[in-house]
Chain A
């Protein structure tokens, strides 16, 4: 461990760390250039480096891009990576309210804290938690996916019917491609490119980035900056100590959710902030503020998606199981260095593991401090004329869509997804459930198949596994708790006018917020 500490503080490692982090910031901030792509592009460079600095650089890119995806989400309402969609809701609302600095600073602090927490878990609990990761078999995945979808339907949007419709659309889109059991082509319209299913990244680019580019372009005639520039130099950039203390349970919960979902292989960083956001909202006393610039909501999303990074490294390093697409590329990079992640890595390469762990903590500490210090530099993007931004966003969306599998077809997928986003907006169906169902759909289907093959058709497998049962019960609670609470309150207290008014106000606020999310267009 001590040797690892030394290795991490060598000049070469430190330079690699800062370079990686900086490149990660660039990749994360540019829509279409995802964390996966950033790490994949840098893998060949690590060949000519020593293992420790090389891997630390990749970790920097990974962590940095997950964090930086939130910068554009906050400033421009464009999630740089799929993991920053929930950050966008409240972060962009804060920017609209003239507080981009506060939003960026809060995101940096929350990212750093989440990352550091997951780093400590990684260092001290890795071997223990590796066994937990292995407990997640097909039946458990089915339960956790259902849990995720229930949570989103129940908590994020206002109208449960509309959210359910969104889930249905998302799951239908997830069916496109060869079916995992027999290999029959489904809903692919004759395009072999769809055999592997819809790629998530081009769809997200179409839904979030292309639509935003068009909206900006429509506005470009005014030749005004994207948002007011005056606010850039005003206002605080970090939450106050009091605000942070008030959120201590929020930090703890979000870090735990983030790290926990990171450890479970195959539940990637995209899902995590949705669950964390929903949990925070469910526990919140100020639920009506969610989606309209709540610091609390921003913290829950940002803490969890960076905590996910450390979590995903646990099955990766201890078992050689990649927990996400980025982790898979990282795994490849380790293999190419002649290092085999797995049970023997810790015993054979203690110094390297020590260096990686130390590097990971340094990266997150640097991200926290640097994120706060450079708020003004990040926010400079708001000074760009809208026309430039619109052009750049559109270009990078096309590039990003193409970069997925180097396939021109994905550009068309992106345009189609943009059209779908428009239709959904008209139909007032929230986007979040569609997106989450699309991401989780294949996981649900393949694992349902596997679970039932393994149990030879016995559906009881989903309740006889304790882990699966826990997630199903949790999901059911999320769905029914508000109803149960209302019923209990109604039957146990005399229905006074205040109680009713309070409830109605919350209900209406929720509905309004939902509309706000769909209809909100950036205004200077």
Chain B
């Protein structure tokens, strides 16, 4: 008897517990279909009750990468500044395509599903890859920072003794001899193509799934040069194993003042375009009032006293810009990068 009763009680608790878990996990993610009680049609005000539950910041890359670290720092600061709850969700896969498509097609406009994206990667997903969304699907809320591409070589390799011009000259004399790590159909790929097209150098482009795997292959001697973001190569630059040879921008990188920019070596690139322009985006159907509210909140957060320290702590750049500027940067990026693909050598393949 007692065994039976005990087992029945166990059954009740077990099923109850599992149900609670199930409901809890669904509640936070099916917001796309759920209707928000406070928002009436056409109204431009933010419901007083907003937010009733944690706001999700979707990152389209795996946990631990540069984008993830940026989003987590942002979420943590925003939580402190606004008192609302923020949760970083990694929807990774297909080099970001899965997450970008989710944000464009499935994320609800009710203010609970936002994305922290790199505009360049978004652009190339729409222009070069088989994506089902366009630039129209996203509304930029605020701009976080620009992180340029850094091209690095092994310090003890042959290229380690050369200047960037000499490297390009070698690439021209011996086409295909220099193997360069890229991520296919991303800003890494197109920037490398632009360098090739303008300098006449020819590289063998080796595709990797991210910046970090390329750095690993470079360290292991399997390739000769690679594209990466600063956070990915910082320890190796400091330890002297790797050497930065070029920055994909018009201005020097603050942490690497002596490394030549693309402009310095005669490669013509638009300002703050090749790299990761990190911004917060919302689904385009989000109401104007809510968009403005969120944009202001994030701007206040990023300009607040806590943000600078927290971002610096995790090694993520921070150069916040408001909504209007963010929209402008977003639109310019689509235009400039679209043009870059048209350049000689710019078409990747």
Please report A residues at the B interface, Cβ cutoff 8 Å.
Answer: 40, 43, 47, 134-138, 177-178, 180-185, 192-193, 195-197, 199, 265, 319-322, 328-329, 331-333, 335-336, 338, 340-345, 383-385, 387-388, 391-392, 395-396, 398-399, 402-403, 405-407, 446, 449-450, 453-454, 456
Please, which residue of chain A has its CB at the minimum distance from the CB of B90? A405
Q: Which residues of A contact B231 (CB under 8 A)?
A: 335
Known: A181-B207, A192-B101, A384-B7. A137 touches B25 (CB 8 A): no
Q: Which of A178, A319, A387 contacts B94 (CB 8 A)?
A: A178
Q: Which residues of B contact A135 (CB under 8 A)?
A: 220
Q: Which of A197, A406, A449 contacts B207 (CB 8 A)?
A: A449
B129 engages A183 (CB within 8 Å): yes
Docked complex Cα distance between A399 and B29 (Å): 13
A384 engages B10 (CB within 8 Å): yes
A454 engages B216 (CB within 8 Å): no
A43 engages B207 (CB within 8 Å): no
Known: A336-B314, A391-B15. A329 touches B63 (CB 8 A): yes
A405 engages B314 (CB within 8 Å): no
A328 engages B98 (CB within 8 Å): no
Please, which residue of chain B has its CB at the minimum distance from the CB of A343? B239
Docked complex Cα distance between A321 and B215 (Å): 10
Interface size class of B (residues with CB under 8 A): 35 or more
A402 engages B25 (CB within 8 Å): yes
Docked complex Cα distance between A90 and B179 (Å): 48
- Tell me, yes or no, whether B76 is within 8 Å of chain A by CB: yes
Known: A336-B72, A405-B92. A450 touches B208 (CB 8 A): yes
Known: A135-B220, A319-B216. A388 touches B11 (CB 8 A): yes
Q: Which of A137, A335, A395 contacts B217 (CB 8 A)?
A: A137
A454 engages B204 (CB within 8 Å): yes
For residue A520, give the distance in angstroms from its CB to the closest CB of chain B: 26
A177 engages B94 (CB within 8 Å): yes
Known: A178-B94, A342-B239, A405-B98. 15 other contacts (CB 8 A): A134-B221, A178-B130, A183-B129, A184-B130, A332-B65, A336-B72, A340-B235, A342-B236, A344-B239, A391-B14, A402-B25, A405-B90, A405-B91, A405-B93, A450-B208
Q: Encode B63-84 as 1/0 by CB contact (under 8 A) with A.
A: 1110011001100100000000
Ranked nearest first, the 6 interchain pairs of A and B with the lowest CB-CB distance are: A196-B93, A332-B64, A342-B235, A195-B94, A137-B222, A134-B220
Q: Which residues of A contact B349 (CB under 8 A)?
A: 182
A391 engages B98 (CB within 8 Å): no
B204 engages A456 (CB within 8 Å): yes
- Tell me, yes or no, whether B89 is within 8 Å of chain A by CB: yes
A-B contact pairs, 16 of them (CB 8 A): A40-B90, A134-B216, A136-B220, A178-B95, A180-B184, A180-B207, A182-B184, A192-B97, A195-B97, A331-B64, A332-B65, A336-B69, A344-B235, A392-B14, A450-B217, A454-B179
A388 engages B94 (CB within 8 Å): no
B14 engages A329 (CB within 8 Å): no
Please report B residues at the A interface, Cβ cutoff 8 Å.
Answer: 7, 10-11, 14-15, 18-19, 21-22, 25, 29, 62-65, 68-69, 72-73, 76, 89-95, 97-98, 101-102, 128-130, 132, 176, 179, 184-185, 204-209, 212, 216-217, 219-223, 231, 234-236, 238-239, 241, 313-315, 349
For residue A389, give the distance in angstroms from its CB to the closest CB of chain B: 9
Tell me which of A388, A391, A449 has the highest count of chain B C-beta atoms within 10 A of its own C-beta: A388
Known: A137-B217, A331-B64, A449-B207. A385 touches B11 (CB 8 A): yes
B241 engages A343 (CB within 8 Å): yes
Q: Which residues of A contact B29 (CB under 8 A)?
A: 406
A196 engages B92 (CB within 8 Å): yes
For residue A444, give the distance in angstroms from its CB to the closest CB of chain B: 14
Q: Which residues of A contact B62 (CB under 8 A)?
A: 328
Q: Which residues of A contact B94 (CB under 8 A)?
A: 177-178, 195-197
Known: A185-B130, A195-B97, A454-B222. A338 touches B314 (CB 8 A): yes
A399 engages B22 (CB within 8 Å): yes
Please, which residue of chain B has its CB at the minimum distance from the CB of A327? B64
A446 engages B209 (CB within 8 Å): yes
A338 engages B238 (CB within 8 Å): no
Please, which residue of chain B has its CB at the minimum distance from the CB of A225? B7
Docked complex Cα distance between A456 and B224 (Å): 14
Please, which residue of chain B has its CB at the minimum distance from the CB of A265? B216
Docked complex Cα distance between A403 and B313 (Å): 29
B76 engages A138 (CB within 8 Å): no
Q: Which of B64, B98, B185 contacts A329 (CB 8 A)?
A: B64
For residue A398, give the distance in angstroms from its CB to the closest CB of chain B: 7
Known: A344-B235, A454-B204. A395 touches B90 (CB 8 A): no
Q: Which residues of B contact A183 (CB under 8 A)?
A: 128-130, 184-185
Please, which residue of chain A has its CB at the minimum distance from the CB of B99? A405
